[in-house]
Amino acid sequence: MNALREWFRGPGQLQAMRAETDNLRAKVEFQALVIEDITTVTDRDKKYKGNAYQTYDEAIAELALKYEGEADWGVLQTGNIIDIRSAFITAGGLKAYPSDKKTDPAENEMEFIGDFFEFNNLDREMVQEFAKEAELEGRFLGEMFWDNEAGMVALRYRSWGDLHYKVQTDAKDYSKYTGITWTKDSKPMKLEPGAFVYGRFGGRVHKPDSPYPKCAKCLTQIDYLDAAIRDWREINRLFAAPVPDFEFADADQAQKAATAIDKINWKTKKAISHTGTFSFKAPDMAGTQSLENEIITLSKMISGTTGVPVHFLGLPDLMSNRATADNLMELVSASTNRERSIWKGVYQSIITKAMAIWNEQSQKTQLDPTLLTVDIPYITQETWTKIKDVYLPLYNSSAISLQTLLAQIPEVDVEAEVALKEERDAKALEKFQANLDAQANQTGTPADQGGQTAGGGQGGQFQKGQAQ
C-alpha cells in the first residue's frame, strides 16, 4: 500500500518541485537583471565624461587625426580653428631690426638675417607653418645645424608625434633646457643646447615637458558639435520631406487608389484628381530646435576656449551688431597675445644660436646677435582705429612726440621717418628764407627786417618754429 501511495503522490511532488524551480529561476533572472542594470549605469558613468582626451598622448594624436582629415568627427572645425589661430598669431610675419640704428646699424647682422630668413623660408610661409605645428602639439622644437652645401644655418621642425622626445632641464632651473633626448632604432639620440630651440605654448610653467594645446581643451565639445550637425542632417533627410496622404472610406477604395497611383507615377508639382481626402503628412519638427540650440551653445563654448570668433566657425548671424564684432576681435587679440610673445622669444633665441653656429662654421666676420631685436607685428582694423582716434589727436595737441606716434604704426622705420621729416623741414626753411631774400632785393628792405614784419610781425616766430 505504501508503494501505491507513493506512486499516486509522485506527480504532485514533481509538480511542486517544478514550481519551486520556476520560482527560483525567476528570482535568479530578476537578480541578474538588477545587477546588469547597476553595472550598465556604472559603466555609463565611467564612459560619459566632459573630457574624452585626458592625456597628452591622446589629445595630440586626436588633434593630428582631425587636422589631417582622418578622424571620425571634428575634422572641419579643428582644421578651421588651427589655421585661424596660427594666422592671427603670425600673419604679420617675422621682422628683425637693429636694436639701435643710430649708434650701430648692424649691417653685417642684417645681411645675415636676410640670407638666413630666405634660406629657411622664414620670410614666407614657414613662420605660419611653425605656428600651426605649435598649435597642434602645444610645443615647438627646432633643430639647428650647419648646411655645408648651402653655407648657411638650417632650421628644421621636429615633431613630438614622430620622436616622442624628452626635454631635459637644469636641476635647479626648469627654464634652462639642457638637452633633447629620444630613441631611434633602439639607439639613444640627443640634441645639445646649441643645436636646438624649444618653446612651450601650453601647460604649467614648471613643467616644460608637459604642455597641452589650447584646442585640445575642447576636443570633446568639437566632437559633440560635429555629431549634432550630423544628427540634424539625418533628421532632415528622414523627416523634413512631406509625405502625400490619401484618405478613403474603406480598404477596397484605398487599394484601388494605390494601384492607380503606381500606374501614373505621380510626383510632386504634378496635379492629381481623385476621390477621397488628400493632404501631406510630416512629423512634428519642433524637437529639432533643441539640436540647433546645442549647435549654437557648443560653438560659443569652443569660441570662448580657443579665442576664434563664432563667425569664423560658420555662425555670422550671432554677431548682432558692430560692438559685438569689436568685442570678438578683442577676444582674438587677448587669446593670441601670449603665444605671440612666446614666439618672439623663440625667434630671438633662434637668431642668437644661428649666429653662434655661423661664427663657428663660416670663418667670416663675427656677428653679434645682441644688436638685433625681433618683432611679430599684430595688425588689425582696431590698430588703425586706435592710431586715428587716440594717438593722432594726442600728437596734434602736442601731448606726445612724433616718434611716439610713428612707433604705433606697423612696419614703419621710426628713425628713418624722423630723419626724413627733419630733412624736409630744413629744405622748407631754406626755401622760405630764399623767398624772404628775394622780396628784400625787390623792396630794398633787409631780409631779417622783412622777416620780422612780414605777416603781421610773426615772421621771426614762424622761422623759429620751423627751425624746431
pLDDT band, residue 166 (cuts 50/70/90): very high
pLDDT band at 366 (very low <50, low <70, confident <90, very high): very high
If pLDDT is split at 50, 70 and 90, which confidence band does 170 have? very high
How would you class 257 by CB atoms within 10 Å of its CB: exposed for 0-12, middle for 13-18, buried for 19 or more?
middle
Q: Which three cell numbers mark 378?
A: 599684430
d(Cα 435, Cα 463) in Å, to the nearest integer?
A: 12
Tens-digit pLDDT profile for residues 3-16: 544 544 555 565 66
Average the pLDDT over 207-221 and give the result: 93
The pLDDT value given to residue 455:
41
pLDDT at 451 over 60: no
Residue 376: phi and psi, rounded to 5, are -125, 95
**Contact (CB, 8 A) for 77 and 313:** yes
pLDDT at 32: 59
Residues forming a β-bridge with 157: 142
Mean pLDDT of 106-130: 93
More confident: 269 or 85: 85
Contact in structure between 237 and 198 (CB atoms under 8 Å):
no
Q: What pLDDT sits at residue 466? A: 41
Give yes or no for residue 401 having a pLDDT over 60.
Answer: yes
Choose the most confident range, by mean pLDDT, from 39-48, 180-189, 262-271, 456-465.
180-189
Residue 67's closest CA among 84, 88, 82?
Answer: 82
247 CB-contact burial (10 Å; exposed 0-12 / middle 13-18 / buried 19+): exposed
